[in-house]
Structure 1
Amino acid sequence: MTNKYNIYTIMAELNVAANQVVDEQLEQLAEAIIDSGRIFVAGAGRSGLMMRSFAMRLMHLGLDVYVVGETVTRSIAKGDLLLIGTGSGETRSLIPMAEKAISLEAKVATLTLSSSSAIGRLANLIVQLPGAPKNQLDQEVSTIQPMGSLFEQVLLLVCDAVILKLMQKQTSSGRTMYGNHANLE
């Protein structure tokens, strides 16, 4: 297989996955973001990196957003929103975050493969994403990609789609967002 073939195959997988995303769930997520006080994002590994990029775009929109675990992250409180990106929904470091947020009367939303997971059961809002779990052993493989790559790619694309929806709702443009871009680089 050539590199170009692999790229086209990945793009085809992403097209199939995009058709499985439920638009109403994305609309609900956009509304939850708008209705929240502060926004906190969390994830582990590559999913965490996708969530960090989502936090950056939310900041570009002018929203009050924090990445859980950073030294400048404030405390979560009632009316805030915790967004967790997790393929399995069972990541041991993320479950206590969801439980703590709930105990403080914050809302929890998750973008996940599994709505019946531990985090899915805790969440107020679930965006169920297609993809293959990291451990594809003894399962029908729906992707040529290793581990959770398909999920992580769909997670990034879905987050970018939600940013576009928020831009429409706020009548923001890329130009206005650029005003919030880091300028000490």
Structure 2
Amino acid sequence: MTTTPYVAAILNELNRAEDQLADEQVEQLAASITAADRIFVAGAGRSGLMMRAFAMRLMHLGLDAYAVGDTVTRSFKKGDLFIIGSGSGETKSIVPMAEKARSLGGTVAALTLSPFSAIGRLADIAVRLPGAPKDHADNEEATIQPMGSLFEQMLLLVCDAIVLRLMEMQDLRGKTMYGNHANLE
């Protein structure tokens, strides 16, 4: 068997998942990004990689964006936005970060499967992403993909869609953004 049927199955799952998104939640997050002084992102594992990619695109937009944990990440302050990508919403290393961001007067946003999770409850903005939890083995109908793959793919796609929405709001084009791309490569 070739990989082509698997690609088609994944794309089919992503199309079904897209139909479950709440546009108003995503739009609220996009608006909060434009209102924030600075944007900080975090996630663990593959979700963390998707969030780091998001921070990079926000920087390409000319926004002051950081991935929590990087050596060049600034201190969080009132007026800043902390965006968390966590399927479970219970990532033990990130819950205290969300609590700290709230205590400092910042806004917390969560991209999650579980808006009623610990992180979801701490969030001012909770965007429920469709997908399946990592331990979905007892519910194979949710996705053919292993572990949290569907959530992680949706996380990247939704973040990229937010970037497109922000580009539209700022009347930016990719060529303009390229001026912020690293050039010491």
Q: Would you call these one fold, judging by a TM-score over 0.5?
A: yes
d(CA) in 2 for partners of 1:141, 1:135: 13
Q: How does 1:79-94 map to 2 (within 5 A)?
A: 79-94=79-94
**1: distance between equivalents of 2:72 and 2:12?**
40
| Structure 1 unaligned spans of 5+ | none
Q: Hey, what does 2:178 align to over in structure 1?
A: 178
CA displacement at 1:113 relative to structure 2: 0.2
**Alignment-derived partner of residue 76 in structure 2:** 76
The answer on whether the counterparts of 2:136 and 2:142 sit within 8 Å (CA) in structure 1 is no
Gapped runs of 5+ residues in structure 2?
none
3-state SS of paired residue (2:116):
coil
**CA offsets per residue over residues 37-72 of structure 1, 9 Å max, x none?**
110000000000000000000000000011100111
Q: CA deviation at 1:140?
A: 5.0
Deviation at 1:2, TM superposition (A): 3.1
Aligned to 1:135: 135
Give the TM-score of the pair, scaled to structure 1: 0.98
Partners of 2:91 and 2:20 in 1: how far apart? 24
Amino acid at match of 1:22: A
CA distance, structure 2, for counterparts of residue 40 and residue 122 of structure 1 = 16
Residue in 1 aligned with 2:107?
107
Is residue 88–residue 133 contact of structure 2 (8 Å, CA) maintained in 1?
Answer: yes
Aligned residues: 185
Please, what is the CA RMSD of the aligned residues? 0.8
TM-score, length of structure 2 as denominator length: 0.98
Separation of aligned partners in 2, 1:156 and 1:67:
15
User: Structure 1 residue 60 and structure 2 residue 60: aligned?
Assistant: yes
Aligned to 2:21: 21
**8 Å contact from structure 1 (residues 39, 82) kept in 2:** yes
